[in-house]
Each structure stands twice: as C-alpha cells, then as structure tokens.
Chains A and B, each alone.
Chain A
Amino acid sequence: MRNSKSTSNLRHDGLILLGLAIFLAILGVTLSNQFHRSIVVLSMIHAIAAIGLTLLMGYAGQVSIGQGAFMGVGAYAAAFAMQQLSLPVPVALIGAILLPGLLGYVIGRPILRLSGHNLALGTLALGAVFFVVASQWRSVTGGIDPGIVNLPNLGFWGQSHETVVYWLSAVVLLVAAIVAAALVDGRFGRGLEVLRTSEVVAACMGVDTVRAKSMVFAIAAAFAGASGALLALYLRSFNANTFGVSLSIELLMMVIIGSLSTIWGAIFGAFAIIILPNLLESFDHAKLLVYGLTMVAVMMFAPRGLGETLLRFVRSRSSS
C-alpha cells in the first residue's frame, strides 16, 4: 500500500513540488522556441484538470468521462465574465473555478448516492449535454461558428501574451498541486483511500461516504474549470469542439499513463499525452486506436497506472 512507512507524505510531496517549480521556472526562462513553449503551456494547463481527475479516480475510485465538459464550463464562464460582464481576469478565473465546482456538487451529490458505474454514466451524458448546449446556446457561447473569439491579449509591461500565460499556468498548476497534496495527505484523503477499498468499511469508520465522494467530484470539477479557463485565456478563441468527448478521453489517458495513486502521475501523464502526438507525425490517424489499446493494456496489466507500475518495477529491481 501507499504510505506504508509513515502516515504523512508532506515532506516527500514538498520536495517533488520544489523540484517541479524549479523545473518549470528553468523551462520558462530558457525555452525560446515558440512551439516548444506552447507545448509546455498546454501540458501544464491539462495537468491541472488531470490532477483533479486523479483525485476522483485514484482516491475515490470513481470514473468521470465528462471532465472535458467541466473544462468547457470553466472556459465559457471565464469568457462570459470577461467579455459580457467586463470583469478583470482574476475575478473571471475565480468564477471559472467556482461555477464548475458548484455544478459538480449539485450533480454529483444525488448521483453518487448510488454506487458503481452510475457516475461514469452520468458524466458521459453530462459531457454530451454540455456539447449540445454549447453548440446551440448561441447568445452565450457563440455556437460552433464563430464560438468565442477575441479574448483579451494578456501581455503587459512588454511581456508577450504567451509569457504571461506561461507563468500564470505554472502558478495555478503549483497551487493546484499543493491543494491536492494537502487534501490527500489529511483526514479527507485517508477517508477517501478507505472508501476506494470498501465503502462499507469507510462508512463504519465514520466517513460520510456520499459527502466525501461528492466533495471530491466537486473538487475535480473545480480543477477542470480552472484548467478550462486557462486554456480559454491562452487560445483566446475556441468553440464547443475544443471541449468534446475526445478531451475527456485524453484526460482519462493522462491519469492512467501516469498513476492512479499519486497526483504527481497526472502531471507526468499530461506532459506525455500532449508531447507524444506532437513528436509522432501522422499519429492523428491512429490516435483513437492507440489510445484504446493502451487503455486496455494498462488496465489489464498495470491497473494502478503505467508510470507508477514502471517506477515500482524499477525500484523493486534496484532494491533486491
């Protein structure tokens, strides 16, 4: 099991966090190639949503196939706040975190009373509803064409839009990681871990299982919202297609490529899933097939996540 040696992982997490911060800072200062920079920005943005999904899948044992929709809600909320309510960027960002979180709680609470596959079902339906609404509700979303266009350029003091979004995303990613690590390390996280193993045991130990599950679902939705808002800020124009089912699937892939038991796997997974298609040309053609086969293989042979299983394998080899 995780945490076999000590009850707290905070020190360990703190070190990784520090390493990550330094790594992102060095990349931010040194990367000059526009294309490489955009890949890192996109990876960071997706990693935020993937961390939320890891909390939900890895710790609470629930699948969501609708995280893309929550990213979309965040993106549209941010765009609406900035364009139609003329609110400043930080306020829009906070709104884009709160709204999906609230929505997640309202939807999750009743659905999570039931156990098992119902959340996967409900979230898949939610994703589909979101797509239809986003492509039809033209007064807010602009439909498919033109969608949301002309979000403000965030550059100031001679810094380009790209640079500002880079640092903003890095900060939000680090904050998200800190929040997730703190949540997981505390009473709440331990409750979730028991819950994943057995809901009955968790309930017997005094964990309010429904509340815990809906809270983590809401938190995952809020993380997705933040990620979606940043993506909107970065792209400056987007439409409903950006947040379709394929985005939800990619987020799932990020989690299982990384790890289902630590939030750090999500960051690794996000970088892997964003970078690989850009390295392999003509990958787009076989993308779905490769994703599908990978998902089946990982779930059959490494159900705690690919990265994590490989890491454990290497560790057990070197220690024996």
Chain B
Amino acid sequence: MEVFIQILITGIVVGCIYGMAALGFTIVYNATKLINFANGEFLMLGGVVLTGAVTIAGLPTGVAVPVAVAVSAAIGWVMQRVILENARHSDHLTLVMLTIGVALALRGAAALVFGRDISFVPEFGFIPLVLVGNVYIPSQGIWIMLTLAVLSLALWYLFSRTLFGKAMRAASQEPRAAALCGIEPKKAAVIAMIMAAAIGGLAGTLMAPISAASYENGIFLGLKGFAAAVVGGLGNPLGAILGGLLIGVIESVTAGYVASGFKDAIGFIILILVLILRPQGLAGRAVISRV
C-alpha cells in the first residue's frame, strides 16, 4: 500500500508538469484554433535556460527561474508576431508545418547554445520534504504541486472574473463578434501564445531538478502535454490539468507494476486510443459540426 501511494505521488508530480504543458496547448488552441507543435519546446527551453543560467552564468535559482520563464515567453512572442501572424491566412497544413519548423529550430538552437549534454540543477529547496508514515513527498514535488495549484487559481480568476479574461474568451468563441466589440483577435492570439510560453517555461524550470534538462526533451514533453489536452477534451483548461494528472499517474503505475521501459509508450497509446474512440475527450460532449 505504501509503495502504491509512493507511486501515486510520483505520478501526480509528473502529471502536474504534463498538465502545465497541456494548459499551454489549450490556451493557444482556444485563442487561435491552432495546435502548436512547438509547445513542448517551451518546456525544454525553460529547463535548458535555467541550467545555463545556474551553471554557466552562476545565477541563484531565485533569479534564474524568472529569467528562464522570460526567455521562453519572449520566444513565444516572437514566434507569434513574426511567423504565425504573417501566415494566419494560410491553410492548415502550412500552419502545422510552421510550428513544426519552429520546434525544430528551437531544438537546434538549444543544442548549439547549451550543448548536447544533459545536465542537472539543484532543487529549489526551502520547502522541506514531507514524510507521512513511510511515504516521501519530495521537496521539488511540493514546489510543482503548489505551483500548479496557484497557477490554476490565477488562471481561473483571470478568465472568469476579469474583463481581460472575458475578452480573451470572447475572442476565442466568436472572433468576428469580438472584433466588433473592440477586441483585437490578433492581440488575443499574441497574449495567448505568451501565456502558453511562460507556463511552459515555468514547467520546464520546475522539472529540471528532477529530470535532467536536455535539448531533446521537447518532443516527448510536447507529445505528453498533447495527450493530456486531448484526453481532457481539447480546449478545456480544467480537462487539460486533469488529463495531465491522469496520464502522469497511469505512466507511473505502468512503470511501477508493468515495465518501466514501456512507460513512455503508454501515454501515447492513450492519446491514439482517445483520438480514435473519443476525440472529444474522456469527459467532453461530442461536437456536431455543421457546414
């Protein structure tokens, strides 16, 4: 039983990271109906920039984390303004290929700037690890869970209680009507991308101490974030977080009881199955599209 709870906690901690990756997809998808294949790279960037700032520049973690988040957010901003905005009238295939291209370029740039080695940073510290009976909750794990909790509350408040959030939601539901009310869809798209990049960067910094940061991390993290977003029903922020937790726990249980080698595959198999069997997500209602 203790082993099971320990595995569960590991899964929840990882699931929080997936949930944050999924939030990024969801926010961008809601604003622009675009699947951003570069979203996983924001997590990768958060990790490698933090590592670079700590090990190369010698910054303390408290400074390096905001730096990493800011770098990631700035890249999201550039990506939206320079590339996606100019191509927003392109067909779907072109847009998907553009985000894949950005993902590749970011991966390549990270490999050139920070090298191809994997590297670790020290844990954030400050919060002590908690021991309940024989079950450990690691300090970094508490950081991750707290961050996701605070982040979810902040986003919930932002999107449902502020005029800004209402404007963003309006722009996503009915861009033309929103534009008539003076909300600029372009601006909403930029803000959404910056938010996704910042959340991704933050998630990347949080997980850097527990799993090594490497330029290659983006593919798998992105894909798992995707899986979480799709499982929770694409476009639903709460679903994204729950989907992330679900996939994290399932992965962790698979690694603990079945075979650790297949851990990575299980999330993707879930993604394929959900896409095939319940494309609206596990909890979502089927959408009937009229033409």
Contact = CB atoms under 8 A, between A and B. Distances in A.
Contacts of B259: 136
A129 B219 contact: no
A212 interface: no
A295 B101 contact: yes
A296 B223 contact: no
A117 interface: yes
Nearest to A114: B279
Contacts, number: 137
A290 B108 contact: yes
Interface stretch (A21-29, A119-127, A227-235, A311-319): A119-127
A285 B37 CA distance: 23
B90 interface: yes
Contact of B103 (A63, A132, A292, A294): A292
B177 interface: no
B264 A299 contact: no
Contacts of B131: none
B275 interface: yes
A26 to B, nearest CB: 35
Interface in B184-240: 219-220, 223, 226-227, 230
A111 interface: yes
Given A288-B104, A288-B107, A132 B261 contact: yes
Interface in B259-278: 259, 261-262, 264-265, 268-269, 271-272, 275-277
Nearest to B87: A300
Given A245-B219, A296-B105, A61 B275 contact: no
A200 B291 contact: yes
Interface of B: 35, 37, 83, 86-87, 90-94, 96-98, 100-109, 111-112, 219-220, 223, 226-227, 230, 259, 261-262, 264-265, 268-269, 271-272, 275-277, 279, 291
Query: 8 tightest A-B contacts by CB?
Result: A292-B105, A289-B108, A288-B108, A295-B101, A292-B104, A132-B265, A296-B101, A125-B268
Given A110-B275, A295-B97, 17 more contacts: A107-B276, A110-B276, A111-B275, A121-B271, A124-B223, A126-B268, A129-B265, A132-B264, A136-B261, A252-B100, A289-B111, A292-B103, A292-B108, A293-B105, A296-B102, A299-B87, A303-B91
7 contacts: A63-B96, A116-B35, A133-B265, A288-B105, A294-B101, A296-B101, A299-B101
